[in-house]
Amino acid sequence: MSIKVWDYLVEYAHEKKQINAAIQRVLDSGWLILGNNVREFENEFARYCSVTYGVGVNSGTDALFIGLKALGIGPGDEVITVSNTAVPTVSAIVSTGATPRFVDIDPATYLMDTSMLEDAITKKTRCILPVHLFGQCVNMRDVNSIARKHRIAVLEDCAQGHGALFYGKKAGSMSAISAFSFYPTKILGGFGDGGMVLTRTKRLYEKAQRLRFYGMKKTYYAIEHGYNSRLDELHAAILREKLKHLEGYILKRIQLAGVYDALLKDTGLILPRTAAGNRHAYYLYVCRHAQRDRIIDELKQKDILVNVSYPWPIHTMTGYRYLGYRRGDLPHTEKAAKEIFSLPLYPSLTGSQQMNVIDTLKSIMKRLA
Protein backbone atom coordinates (compact mmCIF):
# COMPACT_ATOMS: atom_id res chain seq x y z
CA MET A 1 0.00 0.00 0.00
CA SER A 2 1.36 3.40 -0.96
CA ILE A 3 2.27 6.02 1.62
CA LYS A 4 0.61 9.27 0.61
CA VAL A 5 1.94 12.75 1.22
CA TRP A 6 -1.43 13.44 2.88
CA ASP A 7 -4.39 11.30 3.89
CA TYR A 8 -7.50 12.05 5.94
CA LEU A 9 -9.27 8.68 6.00
CA VAL A 10 -7.68 7.27 9.17
CA GLU A 11 -8.17 10.57 10.98
CA TYR A 12 -11.81 10.63 9.88
CA ALA A 13 -12.33 7.07 11.11
CA HIS A 14 -11.17 8.16 14.59
CA GLU A 15 -13.46 11.21 14.60
CA LYS A 16 -16.32 9.82 12.53
CA LYS A 17 -18.89 9.59 15.32
CA GLN A 18 -18.48 13.23 16.39
CA ILE A 19 -18.28 14.60 12.85
CA ASN A 20 -21.30 12.67 11.59
CA ALA A 21 -23.28 13.79 14.64
CA ALA A 22 -22.35 17.42 13.93
CA ILE A 23 -23.48 17.06 10.31
CA GLN A 24 -26.76 15.51 11.40
CA ARG A 25 -27.43 18.35 13.86
CA VAL A 26 -27.06 20.84 11.01
CA LEU A 27 -29.39 18.89 8.73
CA ASP A 28 -31.95 18.63 11.53
CA SER A 29 -31.70 22.31 12.43
CA GLY A 30 -33.45 23.72 9.38
CA TRP A 31 -30.67 26.32 8.92
CA LEU A 32 -27.92 25.77 6.33
CA ILE A 33 -26.37 29.21 5.66
CA LEU A 34 -24.87 31.72 8.17
CA GLY A 35 -26.42 30.17 11.23
CA ASN A 36 -25.30 29.31 14.72
CA ASN A 37 -22.45 26.99 13.69
CA VAL A 38 -20.78 29.67 11.59
CA ARG A 39 -21.13 32.25 14.38
CA GLU A 40 -19.81 29.87 17.01
CA PHE A 41 -16.91 28.69 14.87
CA GLU A 42 -15.99 32.30 14.09
CA ASN A 43 -15.90 33.04 17.81
CA GLU A 44 -14.07 29.84 18.74
CA PHE A 45 -11.39 30.11 16.10
CA ALA A 46 -10.86 33.82 16.76
CA ARG A 47 -10.46 33.03 20.46
CA TYR A 48 -7.99 30.24 19.67
CA CYS A 49 -5.90 32.73 17.67
CA SER A 50 -6.19 35.43 20.40
CA VAL A 51 -8.11 37.74 18.08
CA THR A 52 -11.45 39.47 18.65
CA TYR A 53 -13.41 38.84 15.46
CA GLY A 54 -13.74 36.16 12.81
CA VAL A 55 -15.60 36.20 9.50
CA GLY A 56 -16.12 32.81 7.86
CA VAL A 57 -15.84 32.80 4.07
CA ASN A 58 -15.90 30.39 1.16
CA SER A 59 -12.14 29.71 0.88
CA GLY A 60 -8.68 30.82 1.92
CA THR A 61 -8.37 32.69 -1.37
CA ASP A 62 -11.54 34.63 -0.57
CA ALA A 63 -10.24 35.33 2.92
CA LEU A 64 -7.20 37.02 1.38
CA PHE A 65 -9.28 38.88 -1.20
CA ILE A 66 -11.89 40.10 1.28
CA GLY A 67 -9.17 41.00 3.79
CA LEU A 68 -7.44 43.13 1.18
CA LYS A 69 -10.71 44.73 0.10
CA ALA A 70 -11.57 45.49 3.73
CA LEU A 71 -8.26 47.37 3.93
CA GLY A 72 -9.27 49.36 0.87
CA ILE A 73 -6.70 47.81 -1.45
CA GLY A 74 -7.54 48.26 -5.13
CA PRO A 75 -6.38 49.48 -8.55
CA GLY A 76 -3.17 51.49 -8.50
CA ASP A 77 -2.00 49.96 -5.23
CA GLU A 78 0.97 47.65 -4.72
CA VAL A 79 1.12 44.76 -2.26
CA ILE A 80 4.48 43.25 -1.29
CA THR A 81 4.63 39.49 -0.87
CA VAL A 82 6.74 36.50 -1.97
CA SER A 83 6.84 34.41 -5.13
CA ASN A 84 7.45 31.22 -3.14
CA THR A 85 3.81 30.71 -2.24
CA ALA A 86 0.64 29.17 -3.62
CA VAL A 87 -0.96 30.97 -6.54
CA PRO A 88 -3.98 32.05 -4.41
CA THR A 89 -1.83 34.55 -2.51
CA VAL A 90 -1.12 36.45 -5.71
CA SER A 91 -4.48 35.70 -7.31
CA ALA A 92 -6.22 37.46 -4.43
CA ILE A 93 -4.02 40.55 -4.82
CA VAL A 94 -4.60 40.72 -8.57
CA SER A 95 -8.35 40.20 -8.13
CA THR A 96 -8.55 43.41 -6.10
CA GLY A 97 -6.99 45.29 -9.03
CA ALA A 98 -3.74 45.81 -7.14
CA THR A 99 -0.25 44.79 -8.29
CA PRO A 100 1.88 42.22 -6.44
CA ARG A 101 5.53 43.06 -5.85
CA PHE A 102 7.89 40.31 -4.78
CA VAL A 103 10.80 40.09 -2.39
CA ASP A 104 13.11 37.08 -2.18
CA ILE A 105 13.14 34.47 0.57
CA ASP A 106 15.56 33.50 3.29
CA PRO A 107 17.20 30.37 1.79
CA ALA A 108 17.35 28.66 5.19
CA THR A 109 13.66 28.96 6.11
CA TYR A 110 11.99 29.77 2.75
CA LEU A 111 10.14 32.62 4.47
CA MET A 112 10.03 36.25 3.34
CA ASP A 113 13.44 37.91 3.65
CA THR A 114 12.34 40.90 5.70
CA SER A 115 15.69 42.65 5.14
CA MET A 116 14.52 43.29 1.55
CA LEU A 117 11.21 44.95 2.41
CA GLU A 118 12.37 48.56 2.70
CA ASP A 119 13.89 48.53 -0.79
CA ALA A 120 10.68 47.12 -2.25
CA ILE A 121 8.44 49.89 -0.90
CA THR A 122 7.31 52.57 -3.37
CA LYS A 123 4.84 55.43 -3.27
CA LYS A 124 2.19 52.94 -4.43
CA THR A 125 2.79 50.38 -1.66
CA ARG A 126 -0.32 49.99 0.48
CA CYS A 127 0.17 46.61 2.13
CA ILE A 128 2.72 43.95 3.09
CA LEU A 129 1.41 40.40 2.81
CA PRO A 130 3.75 38.00 4.66
CA VAL A 131 3.09 34.30 4.07
CA HIS A 132 3.51 32.07 7.12
CA LEU A 133 4.80 29.21 5.01
CA PHE A 134 5.05 25.46 5.72
CA GLY A 135 3.90 25.95 9.34
CA GLN A 136 6.03 28.74 10.71
CA CYS A 137 5.81 32.52 10.94
CA VAL A 138 7.60 35.28 9.11
CA ASN A 139 9.55 37.67 11.35
CA MET A 140 6.57 39.85 12.24
CA ARG A 141 8.63 42.16 14.42
CA ASP A 142 10.46 43.29 11.31
CA VAL A 143 7.33 43.38 9.16
CA ASN A 144 5.32 45.46 11.62
CA SER A 145 8.19 47.83 12.36
CA ILE A 146 8.65 48.59 8.66
CA ALA A 147 4.90 48.85 8.08
CA ARG A 148 4.51 51.37 10.91
CA LYS A 149 7.43 53.41 9.65
CA HIS A 150 5.91 53.69 6.17
CA ARG A 151 2.26 53.79 7.33
CA ILE A 152 1.16 50.79 5.33
CA ALA A 153 -1.10 47.90 6.25
CA VAL A 154 -0.16 44.29 7.00
CA LEU A 155 -2.26 41.24 6.17
CA GLU A 156 -0.96 37.84 7.34
CA ASP A 157 -1.47 34.89 5.00
CA CYS A 158 -1.96 32.07 7.50
CA ALA A 159 -3.21 29.36 5.14
CA GLN A 160 -0.35 27.12 6.30
CA GLY A 161 0.09 28.60 9.77
CA HIS A 162 -2.71 27.34 12.03
CA GLY A 163 -1.30 27.22 15.56
CA ALA A 164 2.17 28.45 14.61
CA LEU A 165 3.72 30.77 17.19
CA PHE A 166 6.14 33.69 16.90
CA TYR A 167 7.55 34.54 20.33
CA GLY A 168 4.37 33.17 21.88
CA LYS A 169 1.95 34.99 19.57
CA LYS A 170 -0.34 33.01 17.31
CA ALA A 171 -0.18 33.32 13.55
CA GLY A 172 -2.97 35.66 12.55
CA SER A 173 -2.81 37.75 15.71
CA MET A 174 0.11 40.00 14.79
CA SER A 175 -1.47 42.39 12.28
CA ALA A 176 -4.63 44.37 11.68
CA ILE A 177 -6.12 41.55 9.65
CA SER A 178 -5.27 37.99 8.64
CA ALA A 179 -6.55 35.21 6.39
CA PHE A 180 -6.86 31.46 6.97
CA SER A 181 -7.73 28.51 4.75
CA PHE A 182 -9.54 25.36 5.87
CA TYR A 183 -8.85 23.44 2.66
CA PRO A 184 -8.80 19.71 3.52
CA THR A 185 -4.99 19.35 3.55
CA LYS A 186 -4.46 22.18 6.06
CA ILE A 187 -3.49 21.67 9.70
CA LEU A 188 -7.10 22.52 10.49
CA GLY A 189 -8.83 21.27 7.37
CA GLY A 190 -12.47 20.65 6.61
CA PHE A 191 -14.11 18.30 4.13
CA GLY A 192 -14.29 20.96 1.42
CA ASP A 193 -13.33 24.58 0.92
CA GLY A 194 -13.54 27.21 3.62
CA GLY A 195 -11.67 30.18 5.01
CA MET A 196 -11.74 32.94 7.61
CA VAL A 197 -10.77 36.57 8.00
CA LEU A 198 -9.58 37.50 11.49
CA THR A 199 -9.23 40.99 12.92
CA ARG A 200 -9.19 42.90 16.21
CA THR A 201 -10.78 45.96 14.61
CA LYS A 202 -14.57 46.32 14.63
CA ARG A 203 -14.53 48.48 11.50
CA LEU A 204 -12.65 45.83 9.50
CA TYR A 205 -14.86 43.10 10.93
CA GLU A 206 -18.06 44.82 9.86
CA LYS A 207 -16.59 45.60 6.45
CA ALA A 208 -15.55 41.96 5.90
CA GLN A 209 -19.00 40.77 7.00
CA ARG A 210 -20.65 42.98 4.39
CA LEU A 211 -18.20 42.08 1.65
CA ARG A 212 -18.82 38.34 2.03
CA PHE A 213 -22.60 38.90 1.68
CA TYR A 214 -23.17 41.12 -1.38
CA GLY A 215 -22.28 44.28 0.55
CA MET A 216 -25.36 43.83 2.72
CA LYS A 217 -25.74 44.40 6.43
CA LYS A 218 -29.31 43.17 6.30
CA THR A 219 -30.92 41.05 3.62
CA TYR A 220 -31.75 42.62 0.25
CA TYR A 221 -30.09 46.04 0.78
CA ALA A 222 -26.51 46.53 -0.44
CA ILE A 223 -24.63 49.27 1.39
CA GLU A 224 -21.71 48.76 -0.98
CA HIS A 225 -20.63 46.42 -3.75
CA GLY A 226 -19.91 43.00 -2.29
CA TYR A 227 -19.51 39.32 -3.13
CA ASN A 228 -20.92 35.92 -2.34
CA SER A 229 -18.44 34.19 -0.06
CA ARG A 230 -19.98 32.44 2.91
CA LEU A 231 -18.69 29.58 5.01
CA ASP A 232 -21.66 27.25 5.18
CA GLU A 233 -23.13 25.61 8.25
CA LEU A 234 -22.04 22.06 7.40
CA HIS A 235 -18.37 22.99 7.01
CA ALA A 236 -18.49 25.18 10.11
CA ALA A 237 -19.95 22.33 12.17
CA ILE A 238 -17.24 19.94 11.00
CA LEU A 239 -14.52 22.50 11.69
CA ARG A 240 -15.87 23.13 15.18
CA GLU A 241 -15.37 19.45 15.97
CA LYS A 242 -11.91 19.38 14.44
CA LEU A 243 -10.86 22.58 16.24
CA LYS A 244 -11.13 20.64 19.50
CA HIS A 245 -8.26 18.46 18.25
CA LEU A 246 -6.09 21.19 16.70
CA GLU A 247 -3.44 21.33 19.42
CA GLY A 248 -3.25 17.54 19.35
CA TYR A 249 -2.76 17.59 15.59
CA ILE A 250 0.06 20.10 15.96
CA LEU A 251 1.82 18.23 18.75
CA LYS A 252 1.68 15.03 16.68
CA ARG A 253 3.15 16.87 13.69
CA ILE A 254 5.95 18.23 15.87
CA GLN A 255 6.64 14.73 17.21
CA LEU A 256 6.79 13.23 13.70
CA ALA A 257 9.07 16.05 12.56
CA GLY A 258 11.37 15.31 15.49
CA VAL A 259 11.71 11.70 14.35
CA TYR A 260 12.60 12.82 10.84
CA ASP A 261 15.09 15.33 12.27
CA ALA A 262 16.83 12.71 14.39
CA LEU A 263 17.00 9.92 11.83
CA LEU A 264 17.70 11.87 8.64
CA LYS A 265 20.26 14.33 10.00
CA ASP A 266 23.31 12.57 8.53
CA THR A 267 21.88 11.64 5.15
CA GLY A 268 22.99 14.67 3.14
CA LEU A 269 19.48 16.09 2.97
CA ILE A 270 18.99 19.69 4.06
CA LEU A 271 16.29 19.41 6.72
CA PRO A 272 13.81 22.09 7.84
CA ARG A 273 15.16 24.89 9.98
CA THR A 274 12.98 26.62 12.54
CA ALA A 275 13.34 30.40 12.50
CA ALA A 276 14.13 32.26 15.73
CA GLY A 277 11.15 32.62 18.06
CA ASN A 278 8.95 30.15 16.19
CA ARG A 279 6.90 27.17 17.18
CA HIS A 280 6.92 25.34 13.86
CA ALA A 281 3.52 23.66 13.40
CA TYR A 282 4.85 21.54 10.48
CA TYR A 283 2.09 21.89 7.94
CA LEU A 284 4.81 20.48 5.70
CA TYR A 285 8.16 18.85 6.43
CA VAL A 286 10.28 20.37 3.66
CA CYS A 287 13.63 18.81 2.74
CA ARG A 288 16.09 19.97 0.13
CA HIS A 289 18.62 18.34 -2.18
CA ALA A 290 20.20 19.17 -5.53
CA GLN A 291 19.05 15.79 -6.91
CA ARG A 292 15.47 16.27 -5.73
CA ASP A 293 13.82 14.89 -8.85
CA ARG A 294 15.80 11.65 -8.75
CA ILE A 295 14.97 11.20 -5.07
CA ILE A 296 11.26 11.73 -5.75
CA ASP A 297 11.31 9.22 -8.62
CA GLU A 298 12.99 6.56 -6.49
CA LEU A 299 10.58 7.12 -3.60
CA LYS A 300 7.67 6.77 -6.01
CA GLN A 301 9.04 3.43 -7.20
CA LYS A 302 8.68 2.30 -3.58
CA ASP A 303 5.09 3.65 -3.40
CA ILE A 304 6.10 6.62 -1.25
CA LEU A 305 4.53 9.81 -2.57
CA VAL A 306 5.97 13.22 -1.79
CA ASN A 307 5.09 16.74 -2.85
CA VAL A 308 6.84 19.89 -4.06
CA SER A 309 5.55 23.19 -2.71
CA TYR A 310 6.20 24.92 -5.02
CA PRO A 311 7.94 23.80 -8.23
CA TRP A 312 7.27 27.04 -10.14
CA PRO A 313 7.81 30.45 -8.51
CA ILE A 314 4.86 32.66 -9.35
CA HIS A 315 6.97 35.35 -11.01
CA THR A 316 8.08 32.76 -13.61
CA MET A 317 4.54 31.70 -14.57
CA THR A 318 3.07 32.82 -17.87
CA GLY A 319 -0.06 34.01 -16.10
CA TYR A 320 1.99 36.66 -14.30
CA ARG A 321 4.52 37.48 -17.01
CA TYR A 322 2.97 40.93 -17.34
CA LEU A 323 4.41 41.89 -13.93
CA GLY A 324 7.78 42.23 -15.64
CA TYR A 325 9.93 39.83 -13.62
CA ARG A 326 12.63 37.74 -15.22
CA ARG A 327 14.40 34.56 -14.22
CA GLY A 328 17.22 35.49 -11.89
CA ASP A 329 15.33 38.35 -10.22
CA LEU A 330 14.63 36.22 -7.11
CA PRO A 331 17.59 33.83 -7.01
CA HIS A 332 16.90 32.14 -3.64
CA THR A 333 13.28 31.54 -4.56
CA GLU A 334 14.21 30.10 -7.95
CA LYS A 335 16.93 27.82 -6.60
CA ALA A 336 14.74 26.48 -3.80
CA ALA A 337 11.97 25.64 -6.28
CA LYS A 338 14.34 23.21 -8.01
CA GLU A 339 15.45 21.45 -4.83
CA ILE A 340 12.71 21.33 -2.15
CA PHE A 341 10.24 18.52 -1.50
CA SER A 342 8.02 17.60 1.43
CA LEU A 343 7.83 14.21 3.11
CA PRO A 344 4.62 12.52 4.28
CA LEU A 345 3.61 14.14 7.57
CA TYR A 346 0.11 14.18 9.04
CA PRO A 347 -1.27 13.13 12.44
CA SER A 348 -2.44 9.68 11.34
CA LEU A 349 0.92 8.71 9.79
CA THR A 350 1.95 5.57 11.67
CA GLY A 351 5.36 4.83 13.12
CA SER A 352 5.87 1.95 10.70
CA GLN A 353 4.93 4.13 7.73
CA GLN A 354 7.34 6.83 8.83
CA MET A 355 10.15 4.32 9.32
CA ASN A 356 9.48 3.00 5.83
CA VAL A 357 9.93 6.54 4.49
CA ILE A 358 13.11 7.04 6.53
CA ASP A 359 14.70 3.69 5.65
CA THR A 360 13.92 4.15 1.96
CA LEU A 361 15.34 7.67 1.96
CA LYS A 362 18.51 6.51 3.73
CA SER A 363 19.02 3.82 1.11
CA ILE A 364 18.55 6.35 -1.72
CA MET A 365 20.88 8.88 -0.13
CA LYS A 366 23.63 6.27 0.30
CA ARG A 367 23.52 5.57 -3.41
CA LEU A 368 23.71 9.31 -4.15
CA ALA A 369 26.64 9.89 -1.83
Question: What is the C-alpha separation between 138 and 147, in angstroms, rounded?
Answer: 14
CA nearest to 156, candidates 168, 145, 144 = 144
* % residues pLDDT > 90 (the chain): 99
CATH number of the domain residue 274 falls in: 3.90.1150.10
Mean pLDDT of the 281-301 span:
98
Question: What is the C-alpha separation between 189 and 194, in angstroms, rounded?
Answer: 8
If DSSP codes are grouped into helix, strand and coil, which group holds residue 219? coil
Domain that holds residue 305: 246-368
Mean pLDDT of the 188-212 span:
98
Q: What does the pLDDT look like over 250-272, one tens digit per residue?
A: 999 999 999 999 999 999 999 99
Any domain includes 37: yes
Q: Comparing 54-58, 217-221, 302-306, which segment has the lowest mean pLDDT?
A: 217-221
Tell me the β-bridge partners of 111. Answer: none
pTM score, two decimals? 0.97
* 258 shares its domain with 347: yes
* 316 shares its domain with 288: yes
For residue 63, the model assigns a pLDDT of 98
Tell how strand 153-157 and strand 125-128 pair up: parallel
CATH number of the domain residue 96 falls in: 3.40.640.10
Any domain includes 177: yes
Mean pLDDT of the 5-17 span:
94
* 232 shares its domain with 330: no
pLDDT at 1 over 80: no
Question: What is the C-alpha separation between 236 and 193, in angstroms, rounded?
Answer: 11
Q: Letter for the amino acid at 75? A: P
Q: Where are the alpha helices (DSSP H) in 220-288?
A: 233-243, 246-264
CA nearest to 12, candidates 255, 182, 184 = 184
Mean pLDDT of the 284-307 span:
98
* 236 shares its domain with 363: no
- Please give the torsion angle defined by the CA atoms of residues 307, 310, 312 and 316, in that order, rounded to the nearest 10 degrees: 180
How many structural domains are present in the chain? 2
Question: What is the C-alpha separation between 228 and 205, in angstroms, rounded?
Answer: 16
Q: Where are the alpha helices (DSSP H) in 96-201?
A: 117-120, 140-150
For residue 274, the model assigns a pLDDT of 98
Mean pLDDT of the 174-188 span:
98
pLDDT band of residue 13 (cuts 50, 70, 90) is very high
Any domain includes 288: yes
Any domain includes 261: yes
Query: Any idea what the Cα angle at residue 321 is, between residues 315 and 324, rounded to 5°?
Result: 80
